[in-house]
Structure 1
Amino acid sequence: MQSNKHYSLFLFLLIIGGVFGHAQEGKIVPLPIKAEQDTIIAPLLTEAELLKNSKNDSTAVDTVKTKPPLLLDVIKYKATDYVRLNQKEQKVYLYNEAEIQYQDTELRAGIIVMDYVKNEVYAGRIKDSLGNYSQLPYFKQGQNEVIPDSIRFNFDTQKAIIWNSRTEQQAGLGQLGSDAMKVYADVTKKENDSVYFLSEAKITTSTDTINPDYYIRIRKAKFVPKKKVIAGYSNLYIADVPTPIAMPFAYFPLTVGRAAGVMMPTFGNQADRGYFLQDLGYYVPIGEYADILVTGDFYTNGSWGFKTQSIYSKRYKYSGNINFRFENLVTSQKGFSDYSLTKNWNIQISHSQDTKASPNSRFSASVNMGSSEYYRNSLQQRNLPSTQNNTLSSSISYSKTFPAYPSVNMSLTATHSQNTNTKAIELTLPTLQASMERIYPFAKRDGIKKGIIQNINFQYDLSAANKISTTDDDFLKSEMFDGAKMGAKHTIPITTNFKVAKFFSVSVGGSYEDVWTMQTYDKSYDNDLEEIVTDTVSGFDRFNKYNFSASVGTTLYGTFNFGEDKKIQAIRHVMRPSLSYGYAPSFEKFYDEYIDGDGDVVQFTRFQNTLYGSPSLSKSNSLSFSLANTLEAKVRDKDSTATEPKKVPILSNFNISTGYNFESDSLKLSPLSVNGGTSILDSKMSINFSAGLDPYAIDNNGTRINTLNVKNGGSLFRLTRANFNVGYSLDSEIFNKDKKKEKKDENPYDYVAQSGGRTDDLFGRADNFQDNPMNESKEGEDVENPIYGTKIPWNLRLAYSASYSNSARQNEFSSHSLMFSGDIELSPRWKVGGSSGYDFKGKGFTLTQLRFERDLKSFVMRFNWTPFGTYKRWYFFIGIKSSILKDLKWENRSQRSR
């Protein structure tokens, strides 16, 4: 506070002046002078003249500058025990829970001493009789907070000296998220609102503020809150032990939000490619809603690769990401027999639109395409789980709805499917789908429809596509368009439905199709070449076809009650039988003839192998039957407070279907198809099965003959195929009845899932430790265990699959494998896990991976090992979990031998 002397003098003069004024007032005598009107009239000046005169007035502006007051606001202070004013020292003493507030500055401490002459405050701790300190000072100015042992602050100059300060800065590094960096200093000098000078400082991201498990010691530094720390000589300390990791000078960015910067690489050595730098790159934010990360890999034998990754998001509008990777792989050296040069690439695009952005239109994309050998030959360890994926698929679609009656839904889709084993690629560029809503011409639009006539309805569907079949070698070349097929199909289905005897639902209808194509195929026999020649005829052509169908179905319910006092109170069986009939005439008018080399007449259609098929030469007249079943039980709930029994599925679905062809001259019965599935053990185990049963026998060559298998000395049906899949997952939480397991949020940008791989780790886990920090939610937490017992969390996932083939008496398992993966937390911060499988047909283990993880609070240590097989390798990593200092790490790896 300022001195009161000036105010006292002013008050004294004011009182004296008032007294003298009052004394003279009673002695004033009016003069007898008569008032006369002044003959001089002042001229009226305009606004412009007034402004002109004011500029020329030399007395208008006072050249003497007044000194602004030093204190611009009232200082508020208080304390719990006492507030004592010492006039001799001109200080105010505040003790126990003392507080001072001045504008945006707040100071709290155990004891505060305020000098109201110098406008300075000193704040410190309170020491009790045992020598323990409490009520550390808390200093806040604007958004900056400091917790020191003591502080000296001047309100006039805004400067301060701080002893043993502790402050926390939230620093964001773009895609890597944000972390809290703690800055400690023995002595801090506050120069102004944005600059601090530190002496003997420590920087760490450890959550332990008393004894950090690691820190970077800085001798001198300049600290700009929320921007940067510029330091001199610095070195790393672990558990207060200095390490040889040191820098002559250092720069620590503390920018809040996204900021451009260099991405530090990883170092290593690969036997067949030499030393390398991986993931050296640069990160750049683009505007407010997007960013881009460019990284590269460099090998001493000449191999290189680069990757670009961009993530964009706008709330209530859209979100997505784009990944592109290219690798130039060199094996061996030029001149050697095993030298090779291959170029692999892969692109992944994901885009989703928020439903709130546009209710009548939507654009989405999910793209994963590239070289067939990309994942198997990739330089990146993160691609290990994707080596077991044999299919790449993509889809880009735009859909729009025209809501006016009758509404029309339209979609435009481009698709891609690629088999990495055969290198075959199927593309549709694009596919157009359009459909008009169902119209009831004999019923009111909003009325209830009854009877056959009112339920008559029709709609219109359009499908058009351009399909391309190519290979990996011709992809993105002009040759990929050779053999492209274009066409369109118009469909008008007409149906009606009604009830018969209250319990049977009957549906009757027909469908008309008009198929357009831009190419047809003419066939003829070449006598010189002695072979059938197929010529492609370009140009528009069309054919039409139609059919008739009818179906009847019902639903049957059966309940077996055992009593409410029983554990299983009832079993309910639901059956949905359905009988369908279909008829389509022969379309011989679209067929032509040619004479082969034997003189026989061969019929063919020019529409064979076109995009939407060809008309049928034979008449279709068939009957099909299907039966759907569900079986569930009502079980008394173990929870005594439950008012209703619990429903437990026994069979979620069990379906049977077959058919009979009236027009076929033989083998009129279709094979019986059976499939079903269920989940048991509180949905921990899922079971799915399917089978094919043929009623006809086969000859010695394995060909079906028109003789029932039962008449040939066999059973009623012959098992031709079967498939059985079981998935089972369990963990330690299933034995904890009181605690429900929380479901983890899925990462929308999961690299393995976008690559077409499994979302679980049955095919292994990606060795990309930078993108997958270990269980960050546990950082800094101390897990307490009972003295005579330890909780060991664990989880296990099993997947069993078997496929049986016996269509021609081969009686073999075409595939038979068991996959498993699991993790065990040996202690709160020790975790081991692995994934593997056994192929019973190939008699060998599948991709096997062992994982060891150690959470060191601020650090993470991992070791992944693939002990044998094609992808044999190991990977060791230890580093700081915080994204700010993630480049403080050490890693070593081996690469699989080629």
Structure 2
Amino acid sequence: MTCQKTGHNFTKIAFKPLYTNLFNIVLLSIFLSLGSGKLYSQDITKKKTVISSNRQIDSTKKSVNQNKTPVLIVEKETDTIKIDSIKPKKAFLDGKVRYKAEQYAKIDQKKKIITLYDKAELYYQDVELKSGIIVMDYEKNEVYAGRIKDSTGAFTQYPNFKQGANVIEPDSIRFNFKSKKALIWNSRSEQGEFKIKAALTKKENDSVYFLKGARFTTSKDVDNPEYYFQTNKVKFIPGKKVVTGLTNMVIANVPTPIALPFAFFPMSKETSISGLILPSYNDSNNRGFSLQNLGYYFALSDNYDLTVLGDYYTNGSYGLRFESSYAKRYNYRGNLNIRFENLITSERGYPDYLKQNIYNIQWSHSKDSKASPNSSFSASVNLGSSKYFKQSINQVNIGSNLNNTLSSSVSYSKTFTSVPQVRMSLTATHSQNTQTEEINMTLPTLQLSVDRIYPFVGKDGVKKGFFKNINLQYNLNGRNSIVTTDSLFFKPQMFRDAKVGFQHSIPLSTNFKLFKYFSASTSMNYEEIWYTKTIERSYDVDQSKVVDKTINGFDAFRTYSFSSSVGTTIYGTFNFGNDKKIKSIRHVMRPSVSYGYTPSFEKYYDTYSADATGTMIKQYSRFESGIYGAPGLNNSNTLGFDLSNTFEAKVTDKDSTKVEPKKIMLLNNLNLSTSYNLDADGVTSLAFSPIRVSGGTTLLDNKMNVNFGATLDPYAIDNSGNRINVFNIDNGGSLFRMTSSNMTLNYSISSKGKDDTKKDKNVQSQRNGGREDDLFGTNTDLGDSRRSQFEDEEEEEGEDKISEFFNSKLPWDMTFAYSLTYGNNNRENQIIGNSIMISANADITPKWKAGVSTGYDFVQKGVTFTQLRFERDLLSWRMDFNWSPMGENANWGFFIGIKSGVLSDIKWDKRSTINR
């Protein structure tokens, strides 16, 4: 690269007709005005004067403009006078100059130089210049800025040159205001994620720079980076691109063999640009060598993008992925992922040869409620092959692999602002069991409801009392239900087996106060069910079994029911005295008694022969196969009882400055519920139903959640395990027989304490159907390995992360879960489930992070899924290692690469392949 001195062009103007001292007087006045600290420049206004032809013009008369710059006008014997072709001399500067300095500002009028020293600042047009010393030649329109030495001899007050949005911090700079050219020594600048330092920079114009002896990096410290790219020739266009010659990568000031004959780096000001995604190399025992995540990123617009990725294995296996995100401010946002893999195991001709296709589709969409207050649309879709997450060759996601259910929901709702209001919603749902491969779908579910109508409310609108609170409503629920399997998914048979039904209901209800302290409610409900298919049951002699024949056509049945309930709230306080640590305990009880009656609808039942002789006659309903079931054959006449309890205490606050006692929750809830069948005969049906007990509370400053439940049966069982009409206490047992119970503990704690916010972890794992926390390990998305395995911690400015060896501020978090299940339904009296899971993450040092997820199953007597995670912050680089040492999901992965998205392809990613 060659250096070229800034060129200058001068225009000489000769004033032939006049030789006076007027010009020198005007020039001296300009210099005197510069001494006041400000310079002004004004363009000469060219005036055109029309002079009458009969007017006598003096040829020696001169014209003076507002700046008193002499202008010569030549007379011609014509009707109009033209402006002289000799241009008037303009002022030296084209704009207002502001400057200041701490020690002195010296003006040399003879040399036409202004010198500013110590904390000098100069502002001219769009240029802002701050430096230790600034020298301005206002005749040549040039400025020089450089650093100065302090009392110790060290250089200080480096120049800071800013023009528009571009900022340069060199050792010294020489700049021409007219040509916009500059020479810059040891410049430092930032362009996007890049920091650039060059020994010599030539600024050709506002948009082109040429650099010599340049280094560029994404490190925070450009003078002492942990890595950089060294090159001798660079063409730099701010905000657009960097084009270099021979480029060599240097790590820790040691040149590496990594070199390129030329390099191109886009530096668009846009948030993202299109570009190629380089693959990572891997190998597999049963699929050969591979290239993973080769693709292209399309920045289609500001509202949406597209990423296309592919994998290829030398045995013929391949995978394709299409990932797109879209958003429109104040309207909607979402993302769509489509994944397909063609898996080949072993080689053709071998007995273990297998070829299969698996796929997965994920779509999430949310709409801003402000965009359309009366309607909404949302989607959360996760469907595909049941074995996708277990067999995928690219997506290492343990949370999804251990999950047994995939679910989806797409819904649209709208509110019609009529009187009364009408609400309508359409919902499509999907639930898929990855173990049995059974799929349940509704395509779609229609729900429509008309707002409550109070026919007996007066003009005052007051709803008080039994009659004025009487209201009725209309609800419609229509469903197209499909039950299928993986192999029949979206095939014609899947739609032939669909079941369609409509449920109409008109509830009539009211509520009122009873004896001042009781709240009572009563309701009647009318239902009408429509089906498009029914069944006809009979005994088939040829097949020697009972068969159901599907009858296509409209059919319906109608039912009605009655219910009522009475409840109240009872408060009790137990005081222990103000001198006690526990001052009082408050107990709140909410008992309620309910009654429900539904008559028998025997008219909708027919009979069929259950054997070939025709002597065994049974009843059935032609509506049994419908999605809303069949009407009841027997009366339902039940009396229910519910009791909910809350326990709260007031204790002395540990903070002695607080006068009021502290409230703590002892039990958030303790619920008991049971029912009694008034029509029970004691043989086919028993009067009392089992009592269900459930409760929950929080411990350890609301960091631990405890939930428990139990089922208590008052009846005994026979040798076959069937309930009999004998109370358990009369059969030699206790008052109640515990048939099942369960308890769960969840405890989360972190270094943030009470101010800890909910972590946004495992986002992709949640989309896949996995857990939000990392008890089942963290999600490893091979498409973007630059992302940290841990929660990103933002360091506070001006505060050291670690101040002393034993006084550190290193973040950590821990999640703990315990589950216990007891079963005794048939006198087995055993622990069905007993497991513990722990996940912990911590910063061992300010730059080292480590995490572990593990657990133990006490019933199976084995360690559950275990994952070890390590990560090293290498400033501009990131290195991580994760390892699952045991089980069928045993694998490991190592990654080291640059954090910056611009250089994300500079990485080394090595992972083992799970043999499935």
**TM-score, normalising length: structure 1:** 0.90
Q: Of the candidates 467, 486, 492, which is equivalent to residue 500 of structure 2?
A: 486
What SS does the corresponding residue of 1:385 show, helix, strand or coil? helix
Written as runs of structure 1 = structure 2, the 5 A alignment for 1:69-84 is: 71-84=93-106
Q: Is the 8 A contact 2:801 2:809 kept in 1?
A: no
**Relative to structure 2, which stretch is displaced further, 779-788 or 360-369?**
779-788
What SS does the corresponding residue of 2:467 show, helix, strand or coil? helix
Distance 1:309 1:61 in 2: 70
Once the two structures are superposed, residues 649-670 of structure 1 have per-residue CA deviations (whole angstroms, 9 ceiling, x without a partner) of 1111111001111122121110
The answer to whether the aligner puts 1:515 opposite 2:529 as a matched pair is yes
**Relative to structure 2, which stretch is displaced further, 62-71 or 381-390?**
62-71
> Which residue pairs with 2:649 in the alignment?
633
> Which residue pairs with 2:908 in the alignment?
890
The answer to whether the aligner puts 1:624 opposite 2:640 as a matched pair is yes
Q: Is the 8 A contact 1:551 1:578 kept in 2?
A: yes
Q: Is the 8 A contact 1:71 1:156 kept in 2?
A: no
> Which residue pairs with 1:404 in the alignment?
418
The answer to whether the aligner puts 1:292 opposite 2:298 as a matched pair is no
Shift of 1:814: 2.7
What SS does the corresponding residue of 1:473 show, helix, strand or coil? helix
Once the two structures are superposed, residues 502-543 of structure 1 have per-residue CA deviations (whole angstroms, 9 ceiling, x without a partner) of 111111121000000010011112234332121000111000
What SS does the corresponding residue of 1:207 show, helix, strand or coil? coil
> Which residue pairs with 1:323 in the alignment?
337
> Which residue pairs with 2:801 in the alignment?
783
Distance 2:80 2:350 in 1: 97
Shift of 1:463: 0.3
> Which residue pairs with 2:880 in the alignment?
862
Distance 2:871 2:824 in 1: 46
Q: Which consecutive unaligned segments of at least 5 residues does structure 2 have?
A: 1-7, 24-53, 55-77
Q: Is the 8 A contact 1:428 1:468 kept in 2?
A: yes
> Which residue pairs with 1:106 in the alignment?
128
Once the two structures are superposed, residues 288-316 of structure 1 have per-residue CA deviations (whole angstroms, 9 ceiling, x without a partner) of 21111111111111111111111111111
The answer to whether the aligner puts 1:210 opposite 2:223 as a matched pair is yes
Question: Which residue identity does 1:836 align to in structure 2?
Answer: T
> Which residue pairs with 1:45 in the alignment?
none
What SS does the corresponding residue of 2:305 show, helix, strand or coil? strand
Shift of 1:5: 9.2
What SS does the corresponding residue of 1:618 show, helix, strand or coil? coil
Once the two structures are superposed, residues 311-339 of structure 1 have per-residue CA deviations (whole angstroms, 9 ceiling, x without a partner) of 11111111111111111111111111111
Once the two structures are superposed, residues 395-448 of structure 1 have per-residue CA deviations (whole angstroms, 9 ceiling, x without a partner) of 000001112211111110000000101101000000001111111111137522
Question: Which residue identity does 1:427 align to in structure 2?
Answer: M
Q: Which consecutive unaligned segments of at least 5 residues does structure 1 have?
A: 17-32, 34-56, 171-179, 735-739
Distance 1:800 1:10 in 2: 105
What SS does the corresponding residue of 1:453 show, helix, strand or coil? coil
> Which residue pairs with 1:421 in the alignment?
435
Q: Of the candidates 624, 647, 652, which is equivalent to residue 608 of structure 1?
A: 624
> Which residue pairs with 1:251 in the alignment?
264
Distance 1:67 1:766 in 2: 74
Q: Is the 8 A contact 2:650 2:662 kept in 1?
A: yes
Q: Of the candidates 537, 546, 551, which is equivalent to residue 551 of structure 2?
A: 537
Written as runs of structure 1 = structure 2, the 5 A alignment for 1:9-88 is: 71-88=93-110
Q: Of the candidates 561, 574, 580, which is equivalent to residue 566 of structure 1?
A: 580
Q: Of the candidates 708, 714, 718, which is equivalent to residue 737 of structure 2?
A: 718
> Which residue pairs with 2:72 in the alignment?
none
Shift of 1:220: 1.0
Distance 1:509 1:669 in 2: 24
The answer to whether the aligner puts 1:658 opposite 2:674 as a matched pair is yes
Shift of 1:805: 1.6
**Relative to structure 2, which stretch is displaced further, 263-272 or 483-492?**
263-272
Shift of 1:129: 3.1
Q: Is the 8 A contact 1:767 1:875 kept in 2?
A: no
Distance 1:803 1:264 in 2: 50
> Which residue pairs with 1:139 in the alignment?
161
Written as runs of structure 1 = structure 2, the 5 A alignment for 1:694-709 is: 694-709=713-728
The answer to whether the aligner puts 1:819 opposite 2:837 as a matched pair is yes
> Which residue pairs with 1:770 in the alignment?
785
Q: Is the 8 A contact 2:121 2:128 kept in 1?
A: yes
Q: Of the candidates 132, 142, 146, which is equivalent to residue 124 of structure 1?
A: 146
The answer to whether the aligner puts 1:302 opposite 2:316 as a matched pair is yes
Written as runs of structure 1 = structure 2, the 5 A alignment for 1:316-465 is: 316-444=330-458, 447-465=461-479
Q: Is the 8 A contact 1:797 1:822 kept in 2?
A: yes
Q: Of the candidates 797, 801, 818, which is equivalent to residue 800 of structure 1?
A: 818
Distance 1:58 1:876 in 2: 91
Q: Is the 8 A contact 2:786 2:898 kept in 1?
A: no
Q: Is the 8 A contact 2:750 2:756 kept in 1?
A: no
What SS does the corresponding residue of 1:452 show, helix, strand or coil? coil
Q: Is the 8 A contact 1:284 1:293 kept in 2?
A: yes
> Which residue pairs with 2:274 in the alignment?
260
Q: Is the 8 A contact 1:99 1:108 kept in 2?
A: yes
> Which residue pairs with 1:53 in the alignment?
none
The answer to whether the aligner puts 1:844 opposite 2:862 as a matched pair is yes
What SS does the corresponding residue of 2:603 show, helix, strand or coil? helix
Q: Of the candidates 725, 731, 754, which is equivalent to residue 767 of structure 2?
A: 754
Shift of 1:372: 0.5
Aligned CA distance change for structure 1 residues 11 and 836 (closer, same or farther; 3 Å): farther
Shift of 1:126: 0.9
Question: Which residue identity does 2:725 align to in structure 1?
Answer: N
Aligned CA distance change for structure 1 residues 864 and 358 (closer, same or farther; 3 Å): same
Distance 1:796 1:77 in 2: 58
Shift of 1:567: 2.5
> Which residue pairs with 1:810 in the alignment?
828
Once the two structures are superposed, residues 684-735 of structure 1 have per-residue CA deviations (whole angstroms, 9 ceiling, x without a partner) of 111111111111111111111111111110111111111111111223444x
Percent identical pairs in the alignment equals 53
Q: Is the 8 A contact 1:2 1:118 kept in 2?
A: no
Aligned length: 845
Distance 1:551 1:65 in 2: 106
What SS does the corresponding residue of 2:865 show, helix, strand or coil? coil
Shift of 1:641: 4.4
Question: Which residue identity does 1:152 align to in structure 2?
Answer: R
Once the two structures are superposed, residues 732-783 of structure 1 have per-residue CA deviations (whole angstroms, 9 ceiling, x without a partner) of 444xxxxx53425637x92111111111100001223625236363599852
TM-align CA RMSD = 2.6
Question: Which residue identity does 2:500 align to in structure 1?
Answer: M
